[in-house]
Amino acid sequence: MSNTSPWIDLTGTPGQKHEEGIVVSDSHAAATHPPGLAHHFESYEQQKESSFLGMWLFLVQEVMFFGGLFCCYVIYRSLYGEAFAAASRELNVFIGALNTTVLLFSSFTMVVAVNAAKQGNRKWIVYGLLLTMLFGGIFLGVKYFEYSSKWEHHLVPGPHFEWHGEDVGRPVEIFFCLYFAMTGMHALHMVVGIGIMLWMLRPAWRGKWTPENHNFVEGFGLYWHFVDIVWIFLFPFLYLIGLAT
């Protein structure tokens, strides 16, 4: 229980902050509680179930958050199919598919880290995290080059936008608005994820997460897989429209 944990560790150690904030002439504190079990839970079981349910509800929230974007996409796509197809041809399908592959690998290495946590294998937690960060980093690097080439081709919406393709009307610009908003929001989630993984390295190495209590690793894994799922939809929606026609 020596680690201080920031608030994001929802249910980890009973957090020093709590002990500082309010307390303490109270026999209730650490002594009677097993390590890693927060004071307001009765058992590891209850803590674990609460933590997963909380994480899943957070993901529901994320689904709705991205859902607003997808809703815009669905509406404009159904109105301006032709313009979207033409605009989509400006994206490099091969790079998109490659990046999908990279991201799927990162999901797999995340599973490796979670599996290691279940077995209390701290070395492989760290390796798993490092590999996940590596793949995530590659993905973001590729994304960076994609973005900058869009910039050079004046495909970033706004005053600089220029369209030299087939004349399918102004909505091509809306496609690029959505492209940047959706991939940008997705990339932002990855950056946050990589940040959290960086933070996780130290406690992982020090053996904070044991087979009994590794809710944080598993919860984070859920988040990372969710980000992967968003991309699974973004890839066909953005890159694969009207390839055949």
Partner 1 sequence: MSEQHASEHEHGLKFYWLVLFALLVLTWVTYGAALIDFGHPWSDLVALAIAVTKATLVVSFFMHVKGATSMIKMSAVGGFFWLIILFAFVLADVLTRPGMREFF
Partner 2 sequence: MSTQDFAFTPYPDLPKSHYLNVAYGLKSWLFTTDHKRIGILYLLSITFFFALGGLYATAIRLELLTPAGDMVQPDTYNRLFTMHGILMIFFFLVPSIPAVLGNFLLPLMIGAKDVAFPRLNLASWYMYIIGATFTLYALFMGGVDTGWTFYTPFSSTYSNSYVAAVAVGIFINGFSSIFTGINFMVTIHRMRAPGLTWFRLPLFVWSHYATSLIMVLGTPVLAITIVLLAMERVFKLGFFDPALGGDPVLFQHLFWFYSHPAVYIMILPSMGVISEIIAAFSRKRIFGYKFVALASMGIAVIGFIVWGHHLFVSSQSLYAGLIFSILTMLVAVPSAVKVFNWTATLYKGSIEYSTPMFYALGFLGLFAIGGLTGVMLATIGIDVHVHDTYFVVAHFHYIMVGGALMGYLGGLHYWWPKITGRMYPGFWSHLSALIIFLGFNLTFFPQFVLGYLGMPRRYHSYPEEFQVLHILSTAGASILAVGYIIPLVYFIWSLKYGEVAGDNPWDAVGLEWQTTSPPSLHNFDEIPVVDFEPYDYVEHEPVDRPYRYSRSEA
Contacting positions for partner 1 (CB under 8 A): 45, 49, 52-53, 56-57, 59-64, 67-68, 70-71, 74-75, 78-80, 83, 93, 97, 100-101, 104-105, 107-108, 110-112, 115, 118, 169-171, 221-222, 225-226, 228-229, 232-233, 235-237, 240, 243-245
Kindly tell me which residue out of 80, 163, 237, 239 binds partner 2, with binding defined by CB under 8 A.
80
**Window 164-183: contact mask with partner 2 (x via CB under 8 A):** -----xxx-xx--xx-xx--
**169 residue type, one letter:** G
**133 residue type, one letter:** M
Q: Is the peptide bond before 114 cis (omega within 30 degrees of 0)?
A: no
Q: Binds 7, which of partner 1, partner 2, none (CB < 5 to 8 A, cut-off by type)?
A: partner 2
Report DSSP letters for 190-239, one per residue: HHHHHHHHHHHHHHHHTT---SS--HHHHHHHHHHHHHHHHHHHHIIIII
> Applying CB under 8 A, does 65 fall inside the site for partner 2?
yes
53 phi and psi angles, rounded to 5 deg: -60, -40
Instruction: Determine the straight-line distance between the first and last CA of the chain, rounded to whole angstroms.
Output: 61
With CB under 8 A as the rule, give the number of residues binding partner 2.
55
62 phi and psi angles, rounded to 5 deg: -65, -40
**Residue with Cβ nearer partner 1 (112 or 187):** 112
**Quick check: 75 and 178 in contact, CB under 8 A?**
no
Binding residues for partner 2, rule: CB under 8 A, are 7, 9-11, 15, 17-18, 20-26, 28, 38-40, 42, 46, 49-50, 53-54, 57-58, 60-62, 64-69, 71-72, 75-76, 79-80, 83, 157-159, 169-171, 173-174, 177-178, 180-181, 185
